[in-house]
Amino acid sequence: MNIPSRKSITATILFLFLVIFIGGIAFYLGGGFFGSSQVVDPNNSGEDRGLPFFPFGRGGEDAPTPITEPTPTETDGEVETPTTTEREVIINRLRQISLTPAAGGYVFSRTIEDDSLFSSAPEQIDVMRYIERSSGHVYETTGETDLVTRITNTTIPRTHKALFLSGDQMLMQYVDSNSEALKTFSAEVVAPTGTLVLENETRFSKLSGVFLQDNIVTLDVSVEGQVLYGIEDQGSFSLRVTDRNGNDVREVFTSRLLNWHPSFYNNTRATLNHVPSYTSFGKAFTLNITTAGLTDLYSGKLALQSLPSPDGSKTLVSFRDGREMSLYILDNGELIDTNLNTYAEKCIWSSDNIFVYCAEPLNDISAQAPDVWYQGVESYSDDVYQIDTSTNISGLLFSPFEEGSYSLDITDLNLSLNERYLSFIDKETTTFWTYQLEI
């Protein structure tokens, strides 16, 4: 009988130890070493190579989505933890929609078809969409969930401004990485086609569209989809109107002065405000888009801004009145003091031409405003008021600080078409927010 040598016994023990050690690692990693398949998200595998658009996205994570941890409950002496799908969703009236800087946002209604036997009418839900500045991706959520979802995968870096014509159509302005030209892309969200290859595969929509003229310095859109844009060339300003595809371009205003701020107040008329400054007396006009006719609106005040009602019957005007930045209602040539110290551009009219919503800074507006505000030297923490212009009675609608200790410098204030939501951009963080007017 052959007795194994000490070296053979030692080698056998070492071999068995290695087998057990490797097997333990494989078991711990769930079979990752031996034949397991790893699912890679192709939508996060891209990389910025300096190209203007990336049809398959870039690397990086989607915007974080808020998750409410389940709360353990006790039943008959046993602790039960509900699943996350059963968690209670609490939607605050004042809501931060984007956690990252947004180029623009929009609130609209979507029809949800209910094919159940007991359904009597399609359901309408409110949808909040925004475009992320760094990527140009479109994100959305609804008034019934706190989850935010990325819906497009076309990457457009350095998108600094976006205006929505509808939930699926928007104008996006970005700086071209090669020419440094300011591009304006008229985009539409196009849903994916075909069938899913894998059950858990994520299918993104894409952006498709056309380019408008380069280096547009001012941009606005009407409810019916007209585009009003300004070009500065050789020391003069030209204002033009077109459709969203850049067809039938018409020039409706020219000036040897630069720095005009045009804005639609209904589908056929716009205001023209010369850039407000504490050092100059402003001038405001109304412009008939159809005839290109120009009418004096108001003038002769420092830091003047104007915002007509949709029917043009009344106008909000703000200007420096002594040491204050005061807001007035201009009605048949008469100025009515609203007792608010704010800018007209921090306001929005309701469609009934009666109610106005305005953000008023809690802190003082300095004597060098609005110049220092535009430059980012001065910022504000606003409360939001509702004004009944038929009675000139104003009341506090909400205070962001009281709602959640938020300090918000509110710009780009808008109303959803059903007027259930106010939406705005915080100037300091350029994040997108909404406030629910109706419960």
Rg (CA), the chain: 29
Domain contains 207: yes
State mean pLDDT over 262-286.
Answer: 95
How many separate domains does the chain show? 1
**In angstroms, how far is the first alpha carbon of the chain from the final one?**
91
Asked whether 80 and 74 are in contact (CB, 8 A), the reply is yes
Residue with tokens 């850049």: 246
How confident is the model at residue 438, as a pLDDT? 81
pLDDT of the residue at 85: 53
Structural domain includes residue 131: yes
Q: Is the dihedral of CA 164, 165, 166, 170 positive or negative?
A: negative
pLDDT of the residue at 154 = 95
Share of the chain above pLDDT 90, in %: 72
Alpha-carbon span 305 to 33, nearest angstrom: 68
Tens of pLDDT along 413-429?
Answer: 999 999 999 999 999 99
Q: Is 358 within a domain?
A: no
Q: Is residue 436 part of a domain?
A: no
User: Smallest Cα–Cα separation from 184: which of 228, 153, 150?
Assistant: 228
Say what the pLDDT of residue 75 is.
Answer: 36
pLDDT at 119 over 80: no
Is residue 350 in some structural domain? no
pLDDT in tens, 187-208: 999 998 865 555 556 789 999 9
Residue found by looking up tokens 């009988």 in the block: 1
Beta bridge partners of 174: 159, 183
Structural domain including 144 reads 46-63+89-116+123-213
Burial class (CB in 10 A: 0-12, 13-18, 19+), 213: middle
**When comparing pLDDT for 148 and 70, which is higher?**
148
* Count of all residues that appear for the chain in the document: 439
Residue 148 lies inside a defined structural domain of this protein: yes
Say whether pLDDT at 61 is over 60: no
Tell me, yes or no, whether 129 lies in a domain.
yes
Per DSSP, what are the bridge partners of residue 254?
Answer: 238
Tokens of 370: 């609005």
